[in-house]
Amino acid sequence: MTSERRRLAALRSYAILDSAAEPDFDELIERVATTFDMPCAMLSFIDAHRQWYKARVGVAEAEIPRAVSLCTHSILNDGVTVLPDARADARFADHALVTAMPGIRFYAAAPLRTAEGAAIGTVCVFDHQPHPPLSGQGQLQLASFAAEAMDLLERRLVRLAA
């Protein structure tokens, strides 16, 4: 089985995709947005062809195609991804989410990793204005929120199995 197939199997094992809103996840993402003083924050899951949002602040859509997702790049990294100004980053300067709506300038994401190491999604924040890079402490805090999201997912899975 390829690593992408293993990643998708891990994601599906949580039975989270297309689930209804849940207060624990909504409250977590509200805290993320507040902590980082960002207008937009999301808990997202990267499926085969889409990025689906379990919880979101400042974002109207419930999902976007994976082909235009910034978070699909973030799950490839071991640590936190930080773009202080996406327009100034050659990898993303011409990206549709940067050049058109929503006009992302600042972006930071921490991958959601299963115990086996599969990156199934992200906790991310973004703004329409550039920001200084996240400090080491800020990156640790975002990674901590991602770990908390995984704890919520594990507890949810136990409840579903009961």
HSE of 79, CA atoms in CB hemisphere, 13 A: 8
Q: How far apart are the first and last CA of the chain?
A: 30
Q: Answer yes or no: is pLDDT of 62 > 90.
A: yes
Indicate the pTM of the whole model. Answer: 0.95
Residue 24 pLDDT class (50, 70, 90 cuts) = very high
Average pLDDT for residues 41-57, to the nearest whole number? 98
Is the pLDDT reported for residue 14 higher than 80? yes
Q: Per-residue pLDDT averaged across 101-119, rounded? A: 94
Mean pLDDT of the 43-56 span: 98
Residue 107 belongs to domain spanning: 3-161
Whether the pLDDT of residue 49 is over 80: the answer is: yes
CB 32 within 8 A of CB 55: no
* Residues 107 and 124: beta-carbon distance below 8 Å: yes
**Token pair 């979101």 is at which residue?**
56
**Span 132-155, pLDDT tens digits:** 999 999 999 999 999 999 999 999
Contacts for 24 with CB less than 8 Å, ≥ 6 apart: 152, 156
Domain holding 115: CATH number? 3.30.450.40
121-122-124 Cα angle (round to 5): 155
Whether the predicted pLDDT of 1 surpasses 80: no
Task: Count structural domains, the chain.
Answer: 1
DSSP 75-110: TTSSS-EEES-GGGSTTTTT-HHHHSTT---EEEEE
